Amino acid sequence: MRGRAGPGSVECMTHLPLTTSHWPAGTAAPRPGRLLLQTEGACDFDPEHLLDVFAAQRWRFVTVLRVFGAGDWAAPTRCAGWSVHEVVRHLGDCTAIGVATEPGDGTLDVAEGFDPRTTPREWLAASDGEPPGASLDRLVAATEELLSVTRDRLRRGRRFDVWLPYGPVDWTVRLLHGFWDSWLHERDVLLARGADHPTDGDATAYAAGYGVFIAGAVAAMFGDPVQATLRLGGDGGGTFDLGGRGATALTVDRTATVGSPAAEVADALAGRPPAAVLSGLPAGLFQMAEFFNTPA
């Protein structure tokens, strides 16, 4: 994966109208009804609503964690070698990174040494020996601070770039990246236990949309750009149109359709089971999953 040779900055427009057509009268349309993510040009994904979704999703997960006992915290997850406790410590680390975001931040830039397979494990050294209750308290405190800081940035209309593995982006795109990572890790904890993952259609749409987008961006980084239309079913589903010539661009229309469950596709694109839901998709979309599952 290459670093700062990536594409130009992503701009995120918070005022573009969202498409909510094709929904029956009296039925609440999903929000956002349309997502646009690009590695070059303006994005449209309603960061204010994303923050509300992020908050609701995080507090749902915290509610689950509050009743965990010692055996639950020590249980394995879908992340190889990580217990529930280690995943929660990781989420605390990532949330704190979001709080500390400043212009030009390169914490997640591969050119500055970030490797998603190894760097998060290195971060865990700082919390070695931390009791589970303290890790949960740290996650809660960091989340409260992230929500406050982000609301203030949005209110003031702050615009600045930070780095992700595929290039420079507006800081709001990294907020979306962080939500995707957190949503996946919640599933890493809960699905490994045979438990349901409490979420909703808007949260799943954001996670699946970003999951398809970053898979496309990584494919382009590996020289295998993808053009594909994915019709995904279930909560958060819709039509996901991915373009891969030059810049990577994804448009999501959340009008209900039939297809593999959006949540399962988001899992599989990130290297989690079930990989079978990706059957028939362009090989380039497997690049990210294969990278995640290849030892560093």
> For residue 19, what pLDDT band results from cuts at 50, 70 and 90?
very low
For the chain, which residues make up each domain, given as ranges?
Answer: 10-292
Residues 240-286 pLDDT 10s: 999 966 799 999 999 999 999 999 999 999 999 988 888 888 889 99
Fold topology of 10-292: Four Helix Bundle (Hemerythrin (Met), subunit A) (1.20.120)
- Evaluate whether 165 touches 173 at the Cβ level (below 8 Å): no
pLDDT at 14 over 50: no
Residues 202-248 pLDDT 10s: 999 999 999 999 999 999 999 999 999 999 999 999 999 999 667 99
pLDDT at 20 over 90: no
Residues 163-202 pLDDT 10s: 999 999 999 999 999 999 999 999 999 999 999 999 999 9
> For residue 295, what pLDDT band results from cuts at 50, 70 and 90?
very high
Residues 91-110 pLDDT 10s: 999 999 999 999 999 999 99
pLDDT at 28 over 70: no
Gyration radius of the chain's alpha carbons: 18
Q: Say what the pLDDT of residue 42 is.
A: 84
pTM (predicted TM-score): 0.90
